[in-house]
């Protein structure tokens, strides 16, 4: 299959976007990665993003998005304890985050003549976040293309995969070495806390896929 031209990967340094980065390496001739600094509790993920891109020799840029911490009101940019509820959205939901990230990514890509955007959002295991849904992303693609008079395609390779399937995809696209350096824990610590919702979801995915998380191997070498 002929490779597509250029793509920009929205890259947090987490498990899903690391898988997407490797997926994109298989699909496109040239890729760049873009991360966002929004004073997130787990800012350590930006170090992970930097390390992974350096290892893969992928051009990487971090955009300042501190406006989210000025808005506040959620557990990722404030100091409140992380809570999930059965009835409503967990307080780790940062309203507008993916909408603004993808719009900023499109603006950035526009300046590099890039038409393809790749993001690791997922509807199947989406933690209740409405901006990870397929309908949201499709509507946003339309809005961005109208607003920028452009022809962006937003690729979402993980959209319909559960966590175990996305671990299998990571293996298939050769992402395991990079995943050893990825960051998932909401508490922003290394070794990961193991008990926050993000840690639990990650560990469930690897155990259901029957694959040892390379991050855990790195932890065992470090402690």
The residues that touch Zn ion, with contacts defined as CB under 5 A, are: 185, 187, 192-193, 196, 199
CB 219 to Zn ion: min, Å:
12
Helices (H), 112-213: 134-148, 163-172, 176-179, 197-209
CB 192 to Zn ion: min, Å:
5
Rounded Cα–Cα distance for residues 213 and 119 (Å): 22
Residue among 148 and 193 whose Cβ is closer to Zn ion: 193
Q: Is the link from the previous residue into 179 a cis peptide, with omega within 30 of 0?
A: no
**DSSP codes, 9-32:** EE--SSHHHHHHHHHHHHHEEEEE
Residue among 33 and 196 whose Cβ is closer to Zn ion: 196
Could you tell me which residues are beta bridge partners of residue 118? 9, 155
CB 198 to Zn ion: min, Å:
6
Residue among 14 and 192 whose Cβ is closer to Zn ion: 192
CB 44 to Zn ion: min, Å:
11
Residue among 84 and 136 whose Cβ is closer to Zn ion: 84
């Amino acid at each position: 299959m002929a490779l597509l031209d250029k793509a920009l990967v929205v890259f947090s340094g987490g498990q899903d976007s690391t898988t997407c980065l490797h997926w994109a390496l298989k699909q496109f001739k040239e890729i760049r990665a873009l991360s966002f600094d929004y004073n997130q509790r787990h800012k350590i993920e930006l170090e992970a993003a930097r390390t992974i891109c350096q290892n893969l020799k992928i051009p990487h840029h971090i955009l300042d998005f501190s406006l989210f911490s000025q808005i506040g009101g959620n557990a990722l940019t404030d100091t409140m304890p992380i809570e999930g509820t059965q009835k409503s959205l967990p307080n780790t939901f940062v309203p507008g985050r993916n909408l603004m990230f993808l719009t900023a990514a499109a603006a950035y890509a526009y300046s590099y003549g890039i038409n393809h955007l790749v993001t690791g959002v997922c509807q199947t295991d989406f933690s209740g976040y409405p901006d990870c849904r397929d309908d949201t992303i499709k509507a946003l693609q339309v809005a961005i293309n109208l607003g920028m008079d452009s022809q962006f395609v937003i690729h979402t390779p993980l959209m319909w995969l559960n966590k175990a399937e996305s671990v299998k995809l990571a293996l298939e696209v050769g992402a395991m070495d990079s995943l050893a350096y990825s960051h998932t824990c909401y508490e922003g610590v290394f070794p990961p806390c193991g008990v926050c919702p993000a840690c639990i979801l990650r560990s469930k995915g690897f155990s259901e896929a029957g694959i040892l998380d390379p991050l855990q191997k790195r932890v065992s070498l470090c402690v």
